[in-house]
Structure formats: structure tokens, C-alpha cells
Amino acid sequence: MHLISSFYSRARDEPVPGKTPQLFFKLAGTSFIYFQLLFFGLFCYILGSLFQQTDHTHNIRITFVDYDRDAIGRAVRLAYASIEGKAFPTLVERPASEFPTINDLVGTVCRTEYWGALYVVKGASLRLHEALAGDKTYNNTDAMGYIWNEAFYSSIIDSAVSVNLQLLSDTARVAYTTANGTANISSITSPAALSAFANPWELQSINIKPTPQGSRAIYNTVVIIIVLMQQFFYLGTLNGRYAQLKVYTLVNPYRIIITRNMITLSYTFIGSLLTMGAIWAFRAGWDVNGNQFVLSWITLWLFAHINFLIFEIFTIWLQSSFVPMALISWIVFNITSVLLPFQLSPGFYHIGYMFPAHNYYQVLINIWSLGCNPKLHYALPVLFAWELVALVLTSVGVFRRCHLAMAARAG
């Protein structure tokens, strides 16, 4: 310690008496309490959005159309009755007249009227019955299928829709075999009939937008957090340079507004390009094109600029001790709004519709699935409303900073 103190000899000078220690402990204690309560509340908020997620699975609606109107459809109904519950999607049966073709089902899933669609092919039961009764060649892939969009909350829809519909199909297969095949098993002798009995159908998947890459898991979590931090850290550097050079006492506020907006637009322009470029570079066979890249980049640019302005509002209108609290709260509120589809969270969390991250992600899903998430009618207006309000408040904030800087210089 003596060696260290020799480098900083003035540190051993006698301290000046005063009230500083008492004031320090008072302020430190206040911040201690504020941060503990804040983080406890934020943990409760984000964990609450995930609370009993499985029990909300029944809010996921999947339409079922039985074009066959025979034994396989009855088996599906029996299977659904046996596994129906809070932890399983709600199967909504609709008449074939409402969706005359499979393309009509694809359309309803694309419009997000349902999370998915399950259907039984016309004549499937008759073909299966004939295969069990004789030696006919039977195609077990032409019996039942489902439609879904993997680009829509990929990590969630895999388990909530695809896995559950596979389970329903397997359960229906058992129900069909029990009701239609077990009594006749002794009369089944041909290889084709035995094959049909053992595996009456293979559930076919029509995936509107396959999204199999591993990086999909962080598009609505880590990527958004890093984008937000990217804006905040540069803002801190920029504000430090402005204070160091006393810009607010030397330059006209209108020029400051124009210059800062040019800087922030340029920074978020390049940052969003590099971020989206990294996502594209590691897309691992994900089938997206150049047009989708440009649209995704522009969307991210808007989102990044909104958050840059929001953080600037925090630094303008809040005391410096409250800025970190506002930052972490903003990050948690935004991330919570995109962690899960609102159908899987308690109703209170629908407040997430107002946050930029939720609307940004809805636009991205629409772009990536070629229009199969028609939420632009509210997502884009919300984003542009944030942009407009933030521009106004930051512009007013420049006048405030100039006013305070000039007042401080005047003494």
C-alpha cells in the first residue's frame, strides 16, 4: 500500500471537514432503495408475462376443416376431445363451404385469423378403408395436413402449433385404429394393407415461411437489447463531447437541432445496416431475398432512431440519477412486449402494443413472411407517432439545454 500511495501522495492529505459524508450516505442510501425496488419490480414484470404460459395455450386458435366427412375426421374429433384443455390450442371446426380449397386455408393463416389450420383430404377415409380391405397401393401422405407460419414467433409456434398438431394427429391415429382397424386385424394379410394399418397417415406440413435457423431465437430478445444499448452508449459519448466543447453556449439552437439530427440519422443508418447485415450473413439457408433485406434494414433504422431520441429525452428531462433507471425500465418494457405473443401472456401485458419494439417486430414478421402478418395498419402508425413525438421533445430539449447553459455562464 505504501508503494501505491507514493504514486498518489496527495491522497494522504488531511480531508477537509464538512457534511459531505453524511450527505453521501443519505444519497447513496436513497439510490440503494430506488434501484432495489426498481429491479424487483422489473423482474416481477417480465417474469409475470411468462407466468403460466402453458395454461394460456388454449388462447391459440387453430381452424379445422374436414373435407372428407368420414372416419378420419371423426378420429380427429375424438382425439381432440381427449386432449383438449388449457395447455392445448383450441380447435375451431369450420365447414368446408367456408374454405373450399386448401389455398383458402393458407390465406386465413396468412391473414393471422388463425395460428394454423388442420384439414382432412376429401376421400381419405375411403382410400384408407380400401387399402385395409385389399391389396391396393395406398399413399398415406394424402390424408391429413396442417398449415402454419414458422416466421411468426418461431421458437413459440414450433411447440405451440407444430408439436401439438403432431400430437393430435398421433392421438387421432390411435383413435382411428381402435375404432376401425382392430376388429379386422386378423383379416389383414397383404403387405400394403399391413403397412396402411401400421401407419394410416403421415401428417403433412405446409409451412408458409420456414424459419429453421438457430439465430431466430435472439431476433426478438438479444438483438433488440444490443440495438438499444448501441444507441444509448453513443448518445452518452455525444453528450459528453457537447458538454466538453460548450456547444450549447456557442452555437444557435436551430443549428444544433439540425446537426444532431443529421448525426443521429447517420449513426442509426449505418448501425442498422451493419446489424441487419450480420443477421443476413448468419441466416444459414433461410430463404429471404434482397428486397426483404432492404425493407428490414429500413424498419430497423426507424426503430433505432426512435430509441436514440427516447434516450435523449431521458437525458434532457430527467435528473442524471434517474437516467439509468429510465434506461433499464425502457429496455425491459420493450423486450417484454416481444417475448411472447400476447395470447400467451396475461391480459394486462397487452399494454405492450404501445412500445416500439413490439411494433417493429410485427413489421419484420410481415416482411419476412411476405405479407403474412398484416399488422402494418397499427404497427407503422405507432412507430411514426413515437418518431414524431420524440423529434418534437428533443428539439424543445435543445432550447432548454441552451437556456440552462447560458444561464450558468451568466452566473
Tell me, what's the pLDDT at 210? 94
Tell me, what's the pLDDT at 62? 97
**Any domain includes 26:** no
Tell me, what's the pLDDT at 206? 96
| Pair type for strands 116-120 and 90-93 | unpaired
Query: Which of 171, 170, 150 has the alpha carbon at shortest distance from 161?
Result: 150
* Report for 4-13, 242-251, 379-388: range of highest mean pLDDT: 379-388
Question: Same domain, yes or no, for 237 and 365?
Answer: yes
Higher-confidence residue of 319 and 138: namely 319
Burial class (CB in 10 A: 0-12, 13-18, 19+), 128: buried
Cα–Cα distance for residue pair 236/324, rounded to 1 Å: 12
pLDDT at 182 over 70: no
3-state secondary structure of 134: coil
Question: Same domain, yes or no, for 77 and 186?
Answer: yes
Instruction: Spell out the long-range contacts of 6-12 with Cβ–Cβ below 8 A and sequence spacing 24 or more.
Output: none
pLDDT at 289 over 80: yes
Question: Same domain, yes or no, for 145 and 186?
Answer: yes
**Any domain includes 329:** yes
Strand partners, 119: 65, 145
Question: Same domain, yes or no, for 277 and 379?
Answer: yes
**Any domain includes 24:** no
Tell me, what's the pLDDT at 187? 61
pLDDT at 186 over 80: no
**Any domain includes 25:** no
Of the residues 173, 207, 241, the one at which a domain ends: 207
Q: What is the mean pLDDT of residues 243-257?
A: 92
pLDDT at 142 over 70: yes
Tell me, what's the pLDDT at 190? 74
Q: Residues of the chain with pLDDT > 90: what percent?
A: 76
- The CA-atom distances, in angstroms, between 244 and each of 240, 247, 248 are 6, 8, 10
Question: How many other C-beta atoms can be found within 10 angstroms of the C-beta atom of residue 371?
Answer: 11
Tell me, what's the pLDDT at 81? 96
Question: Same domain, yes or no, for 105 and 222?
Answer: no
Of the residues 172, 207, 242, the one at which a domain ends: 207
Q: What is the mean pLDDT of the chain?
A: 91
**Any domain includes 68:** yes
pLDDT at 5 over 70: no
Question: How many other C-beta atoms can be found within 10 angstroms of the C-beta atom of residue 305?
Answer: 23
**Domain containing residue 119: CATH number:** 3.40.1710
Number of domains observed in the structure of the chain: 2
Question: How many other C-beta atoms can be found within 10 angstroms of the C-beta atom of residue 193?
Answer: 22
Query: Which of 272, 263, 81, 294 has the alpha carbon at shortest distance from 171?
Result: 81
pLDDT at 16 over 80: no
Helices (H) and strands (E) in the chain, counts: 15, 5
Question: Same domain, yes or no, for 194 and 223?
Answer: no
**Any domain includes 21:** no
Higher-confidence residue of 128 and 189: namely 128
Instruction: Give me 183's grid cell.
Output: 376388429
Q: What is the mean pLDDT of residues 224-237?
A: 96
Q: What is the mean pLDDT of residues 11-15?
A: 65
**Any domain includes 299:** yes
DSSP state of 351: G
Query: Which of 345, 269, 276 has the alpha carbon at shortest distance from 301?
Result: 269
pLDDT at 184 over 70: no
User: Among 62-66, 102-106, 124-128, 392-396, where is mean pLDDT lowest?
Assistant: 124-128
3-state secondary structure of 153: coil
pLDDT tens string 191-210: 777 788 888 999 999 999 99
Question: Same domain, yes or no, for 283 and 316?
Answer: yes
Tell me, what's the pLDDT at 266? 98
Q: What is the mean pLDDT of residues 251-259?
A: 95
Q: What is the mean pLDDT of residues 325-337?
A: 97
Tell me, what's the pLDDT at 132? 81
Question: Same domain, yes or no, for 259 and 147?
Answer: no
pLDDT at 29 over 80: yes
Question: Same domain, yes or no, for 152 and 182?
Answer: yes
Biggest alpha carbon–alpha carbon distance for the chain: 104
DSSP state of 57: G
Tell me, what's the pLDDT at 194? 79
First to last CA, the chain: 43
Of the residues 191, 207, 223, the one at which a domain ends: 207
Question: Same domain, yes or no, for 199 and 58?
Answer: yes
Q: Where are the beta strands (DSSP E) in 15-98?
A: 61-66, 90-93
Cα–Cα distance for residue pair 201/153, rounded to 1 Å: 28
Instruction: Give me 117's grid cell.
Output: 389450420
Question: Same domain, yes or no, for 196 and 230?
Answer: no
Question: Same domain, yes or no, for 87 and 122?
Answer: yes
Query: Domain of 277?
Result: 214-410
Instruction: Give me 228's grid cell.
Output: 438499444
Tell me, what's the pLDDT at 195? 81
Higher-confidence residue of 214 and 391: namely 391
Tell me, what's the pLDDT at 276? 97
**Any domain includes 3:** no
